[in-house]
Structure 1
Amino acid sequence: MSRRLSLPVIPEELIYEILLKLPVESLWRFRRVCKSWKTLISHPQFAKDHLDSSISGAIMTQPRLALVYDDSNTATTYSVNSLFKNPPTLTEKLKFKMEGKHNHFVGSINGLLCLRDVNCCFRLYNPSTKLVSRKSPAFPIEIKYLFPNNAFFGYDKVNDKYKVLAFGVDLGYHVFNLVARLYTFGESESNWRTTIQDLSFGVNNIEGSRQTFVNGNLHWLTKRGHGSDKTVIISFDVDRETHGEVLLPLELEDIIWSLDLHVSNKFLYVSQYSHKTCLVLWLMKEYGVQESWTKVMTISLESRYCRCNATHLSPLCILGNDVVVLRNACSCPYLVTYDSKNGQFGRRFRIERSSPRQWHGGVYHESLVPPP
């Protein structure tokens, strides 16, 4: 009499741990295996645990670069790792469609891209799962005078809420007043509202338009005002909705222009164009401590990589303290890597578009996190 062999039963806890170590593309496909896997993979807690595993390095994932074009309703994402091939190929191309044209990349958090359209409405999009949030109401204040450096994307970890902080120009009574408004995604009947504290003192001549969310705060550069030419970093706590200041390196406090902010690996960076001949990168090793600012990279711009204007070459993303991906915004735009260990540029990758100057982009990590 033949015996029927039964398949071994794998404990649910072990299945959970195994699935946590798989890339998003595989997990999204494995939802079709059975109902229990679909329920598990689609659960918000699994998405958070998977994201934590990815950030901690438990999953071998590579950051991706998202390019959003003004003249199209599509965006393209690439594996950042493909930039380092010889020649660079930007393979693993993904495309996704958006509503209308003239979308602007605001930032990315937890695998979600925040995009703004021509009508000043905002939405969140997960390019890994193709899920999209509801569109925000149109920003209520005329903001064209601050385009495109007027919106910042942040995450309220305490309440698990995604927020956009935007600045506009109130032209009532023919008076030029800068105002701040805050929008929270996912709340019923949510609308733009004023922040708890008045931010008008900190939005004079906003500089920079990079992803600036780190340590629970959004950041931007501005002059202190009141007759002072000191440049400071204004911070906005997304949880508490309060603001403060983060001091620049002592060497940079008297510099008014040629500075920009960047974030990488949960650290705050500032870039400085020095006499238009080199780009200097500073890292704040301990958040909020002025003495912890450290000069980590100096890139000479007196080369064939920027023949027309040195300030056209700017950091798009920073990979550790050794490698940076730079974008050139000249008439023939391209991306290029720079390795500070050997002081060498990589080979250029040209952005081929009908309107090549009109594109925005940033880096994100793949995740299962659904837009609210």
Structure 2
Amino acid sequence: MRTKSKEFTVSIHDCDLSEYSLSFGYDNSTQTYKVVAFYVEDKGSRNPKTMVKVFSLGDNSWRDLQCFPLIPLYWFSDKCYHNGVHLNGTINWLAHHDYKSVDDHYVILSLDLSTETYTQLLLPLGFDNKDDWPKIVLLADRLCFCHDFEETHFVMWQMKDFGVQDSWIQLFKISYENHLESAYLLPLYLSENTLLLANERDLKTSIYSCIDNKVEKTAIRNNIGWLYAMDYVESLVPTH
């Protein structure tokens, strides 16, 4: 069976697109793919501003969007997983609620591609907000949140019902005694009983089994730049 594909090029005439971070998603209401481009102005100031643009493949045009109401974590790091997680017609980023405050806390900034409006999603109540670099990833078609716990465990939560804070459940709490390192873990794949993890520092991968609570090194070739890998799906559009 032949599959259809389309290659396209986007550019912004009045600015350098290479300065932007890009996210890609699908607008369910118009059945249109969209590219979201954003960057932070005045990064050295105490009052940085974001610029956000959206490109619709429906009319092949760019439009300005409302600026981010919060500062995404990508501003503080060049790690690719901060460029947004696409799920259910939304793109989601971890963000600082108020990065200038000593009592700052993290939230998930969610952009609805249909309405092109923002919503703030709260993190699990059990998160103590002490981790400098928590992560959100898409695993098994659900939004997952990962963080360090008191420098002793790697913890991963799953949002069973997207957008509902009470639906967060804790999936794993893995001790670092299992030869893992706190700030460097990146979940790659989740099945019913196992979790595939990459170590961002040494680029090695491990498999955690929740059945026997053990971590084993995998046979996957090392030195893969996992941070720069992108999720692959055959199509963002349901086939039924």
Q: TM-score, normalised by structure 2?
A: 0.78
Partner AA of 2:176 in structure 1: L
- Alignment partner of 1:183 is 2:61: no
8 A Cα contact 2:155 2:172, kept in partner? yes
Partner AA of 1:338 in structure 2: Y
Partner AA of 1:198 in structure 2: C
Task: State how 1:197-346 maps to structure 2 within 5 Å.
Answer: 197-199=66-68, 201-206=69-74, 208-209=81-82, 212-225=85-98, 227=101, 228-252=103-127, 254-255=129-130, 257-304=132-179, 306=180, 309-320=181-192, 322-331=193-202, 333-346=203-216
Partner AA of 1:223 in structure 2: H
1:359 Cα offset (Å): 5.7
Residues 297-348 of structure 1: per-residue CA shift (max 9 Å, x gap):
11222234x4xx432222123334x3222112224x2222222122233442
Cα distance in 1 for residues equivalent to 2:235 and 2:37: 26
- Alignment partner of 1:153 is 2:24: yes
Q: Higher Cα Rg: structure 1 or 2?
A: 1
Partner AA of 1:161 in structure 2: T
Residues 20-44 of structure 1: per-residue CA shift (max 9 Å, x gap):
xxxxxxx23xxxxxxxxxxxx76xx
Greater relative contact order structure (CA < 8 Å, 6+ sep) = 1
Partner AA of 1:135 in structure 2: T
1:368 Cα offset (Å): 11
- Alignment partner of 1:166 is 2:40: no
Cα distance in 2 for residues equivalent to 1:203 and 1:209: 11
Q: TM-score, normalised by structure 1?
A: 0.53
Partner AA of 1:329 in structure 2: E
Residues 1:205 and 1:363: Cα distance change in structure 2 (over 3 Å): closer
Runs of 4+ in 1 over 4 A off after TM superposition: 141-144, 356-359
Alignment equivalent of 1:360, drawn from 222, 228, 239: 228
Residues 1:334 and 1:211: Cα distance change in structure 2 (over 3 Å): farther
SS in 1 for 2:151: coil
RMSD of aligned Cα (Å): 3.2
Compare the two structures and name the one with the higher helix fraction. 1
1:357 Cα offset (Å): 4.7
Cα distance in 1 for residues equivalent to 2:152 and 2:129: 19
Cα distance in 1 for residues equivalent to 2:52 and 2:217: 42
Residues 1:366 and 1:182: Cα distance change in structure 2 (over 3 Å): closer
Partner AA of 1:302 in structure 2: E
SS in 2 for 1:213: strand
8 A Cα contact 2:197 2:205, kept in partner? yes
Residues 1:221 and 1:211: Cα distance change in structure 2 (over 3 Å): closer
Q: Percent identity of the aligned residues?
A: 24
Compare the two structures and name the one with the higher strand fraction. 2
Cα distance in 2 for residues equivalent to 1:210 and 1:368: 17
Unaligned runs of 5+ in 2: none
1:287 Cα offset (Å): 2.2
